[in-house]
Amino acid sequence: MTRLLLEMHDVHLAYRLRRSLLRSDYHPVINGVSLKVHQGQRLGIIGHNGAGKSTLLRLLAGIYAPDRGRVTNHGARVSLLSLQAGFDPRLNGWDNALLSGVLMGMSSKEVRLRLKGIHEFCELGDQMNDMLGTYSSGMRARLGFAVALAMEADLLLIDEVLSVGDQDFQEKSEKAVMHAVNQGCAMVLVSHSPIKLKKWTDSVLTFEKGMICLPAPEKAVSSA
Amino acid sequence: MHRKKKRSDAVYRILQVSWLRALMGLKSESRGTRLGYLWWLIEPAMHLAVYYLAFGVLLKHGGDDYVAFLLIGIVHWLWFSKSIMNASQSIMVGRGLILQLPLHTGIFPLAEIFRDLIKQIVVVVILLLILSIMGYLPTTFWVIYPVIFLLQILLTLPCAGLVAALMPFIPDLRVIVPACLQLAMFLSGVFFSSDLVPESFHWVLNLNPAYLLLEAYRDILIRQQQPDWDLLANLLAALLLFNIFVIALFGRFNRQYARIIQE
């Protein structure tokens, strides 16, 4: 029996839309979702734009508190793969890596120990000493990914596709995520692309109107 | 026991993240201007020149000690008002991060407060140097300086925290806060001394914590006398309560900010 990492029980969430000073409407986004994530599990969630996929991930990551129901984290290090969090164009690569890593949940000491690995992975070489403002978007993305990967989370939450940098770096980052998963790291991948989900995950849930429909219909994902 | 440990870990993390954000913010800020760190000194000097011209020269207010009086008032008032202004926008500015990562919202105003605190320490060292050059040589009263400085930190923390905490709920504060700070400056004796105010109104001035602190700084640095310890003791008690209140406020609303910012 693998370790239970995260559990959602009958979670509801509605956004408030302010109409005027006193009146506001509620727009329900999540309507009673229950779900469990175990160690080593690769869960895919498929849904249309606006189905509430990103909201679901934010609930799992602990960014939102549910209106009703509960999200229980059983001591797992959850990381919403948020690339380039807290990046500052006027700081160099090292400072940005440190800042971003600490914001993601590592201590300064932990990040400093991993800086060498981050530097190697992102392949920026001497440009690590240059200010981030001089980087191309691909270079920024590579640095962001290297920091996020250094976190060594128990559960990776990924929103949409992992398209980072050029073809070579993309393959490398995909391999790195696969490696982490093989080491026992669980993953929740949210996407509207069935092909991507089929490749990456071992079970797929369909998410519609704020509810999970079990199991995913055959036309969306041909059974693996 | 376990819970206590968890809580102290959480507090430690908030402080660590805020501190790093403050340091990195300073580094980044200094690269955004041509004069960089020099601005920490140029800005108060510019204020000093304007107020001196307006009140000292044109209105002929003050006396022999007026420049020192103004200098102390401006340096410490600017610290207070800048901390509040910077902290007030901090949660809105940190919007992207709050929606990306599960961070404690207190980190954002705290980082701004730390940032202004670091600047202020440098500015105060220069201020004391300038005062010495002007003839206000160090005395044993200077030992009291850190106590008043600490009191001001205890005042800045909850004021800045409160404004920052309320801003996402009431965005209108963006207009209200600068106006209130402007008013408060006129009521805090930054450029006038109590002898301009009728004796019967002095108790009103003493209700203003900023006024009390500015006067205490002047007592020890210019007048070479003990500050009014009774008033300062009352102030300390009130500030401690205020701090506890604001910390509780953040504890209560912390998890709601991501939603409020999004909506």
Domain ranges of chain A: 83-152
Mean pLDDT of all residues belonging to chain A = 84
pLDDT in tens, A126-178: 999 999 999 988 888 889 888 988 887 888 888 875 666 677 777 888 888 88
B102 chain-A contacts, CB cut-off 8 A: 61-63, 80
Confidence of residue B18 (pLDDT cuts 50, 70, 90): very high
Chain B: which residues have CB within 8 Å of chain A? Answer: 13, 16-17, 20-21, 24, 27-29, 31-32, 97-103, 255-256, 258-259, 262-263
pLDDT in tens, A11-23: 999 888 777 777 7
A91 chain-B contacts, CB cut-off 8 A: 24, 27-28
CB contact under 8 A, A63 and B16: no
CB contact under 8 A, A91 and B101: no
A125 vs A161 pLDDT, higher one: A125
Average pLDDT over residues B7-34: 91
CB contact under 8 A, A91 and B28: yes
Instruction: Name the residue ranges covered by the structural domains of chain B.
Output: 2-262
pLDDT for A1 equals 56
Q: Looking at CA atoms only, how far is residue B85 from chain A in angstroms?
A: 21
CB contact set of B236 (below 8 Å; sequence gap of 6+) = B151, B154
Percent of chain B with pLDDT over 90: 60
Residue of B nearest to A89 (CA): B28
Pick B28's closest partner by Cβ from A18, A63, A88: A88
CB contact under 8 A, A95 and B99: no
The whole model's pTM is what? 0.88
Confidence of residue B2 (pLDDT cuts 50, 70, 90): low
B20 chain-A contacts, CB cut-off 8 A: 98-99, 102, 108
A62 in contact with B, Cβ within 8 Å: yes
Percent of chain A with pLDDT over 90: 26
CB contact under 8 A, B16 and A86: no
CB contact under 8 A, B98 and A63: yes
CB contact under 8 A, A91 and B262: no
CB contact under 8 A, A63 and B99: yes
pLDDT for B200 equals 80
Average pLDDT over residues A211-222: 58
pLDDT for A142 equals 86
pLDDT for B13 equals 93
